[in-house]
Structure 1
Amino acid sequence: MSAPTPAREAKLFRNNRSQAVRIPADWEMPGDRVTIRRDGDRLVLEPVRRRGLLGLLASWDRLDEDLPLPDDPPPASEDVL
């Protein structure tokens, strides 16, 4: 684990009705989205990581119903290459 980076000041500004912060170029975060949460009087920003297929499937609710089997028969072995 790397040592903490010293704190720096950053500029706050208004963007329409939202407050925004200018992140220095050398602290740029990957992607174009972050999660934000409060920790006391601090705001913590974390990059949103791409979940991949397994993460997406894990986020879906399980189906509690039996799905019908298809009506079409499986292909004959000579049809499969």
Structure 2
Amino acid sequence: MPKERKAKIFMNGRSRAVRIPSDFDLSGDEVVIRQETDGIITIHPARQKRSPGELIEWLRQAAPLGQEFPEIEDLPLRSVDLDLPE
């Protein structure tokens, strides 16, 4: 069953804000807020942007797949007509 709690809405500068209770932990520093046509508001953690260096580091530390990839037959090249109709 989903958790549900009341939360206070307050002013923060010229914006309205909602204090999210600590037991509703969200990762990251940003959220995506969506208001549906029926008034329901959802809040989701925003996707974290990753740098190329983080991916390379993850790949270096990742465990090997433990399987060999099958050989792939090199097919002969074929010409393709790239002329577009006018």
Which TM-score tier does this pair reach, normalised by the shorter chain? Answer: 0.5 to 0.7
Query: Paired residues, what number?
Result: 51
Question: Partner of 2:3 in structure 1?
Answer: 6
Amino acid at match of 2:12: N
Could you list the runs of 4 or more consecutive aligned residues of structure 1 that deviate by over 3 angstroms after TM superposition?
51-54
Query: Once the two structures are superposed, what CA deviation does each residue of 1:35-63 show, in whole Å capped at 9, x if it has no partner?
Result: 11112211111101224368xxxxxxxxx
Amino acid at match of 2:35: R
Quote how far apart the aligned CAs of 1:28 are: 1.9
TM-align CA RMSD: 1.7
Q: Aligned partners of 1:16, 1:50: CA distance in 2, in Å? A: 26
Counterpart pick for 1:25 among 22, 25, 28: 22
Structure 2 gaps, min length 5: 53-86
Structure 1 gaps, min length 5: 55-81
Question: Partner of 2:44 in structure 1?
Answer: 46
Q: Aligned partners of 1:44, 1:37: CA distance in 2, in Å? A: 5
Query: Once the two structures are superposed, what CA deviation does each residue of 1:12-38 show, in whole Å capped at 9, x if it has no partner?
Result: 100011000011111021111011111
TM-score, length-scaled by structure 1 = 0.54
Amino acid at match of 1:46: H
> Kindly, what percent of the aligned residue pairs are identical?
39
Question: Partner of 2:12 in structure 1?
Answer: 15
- Higher helix share goes to which structure? 1
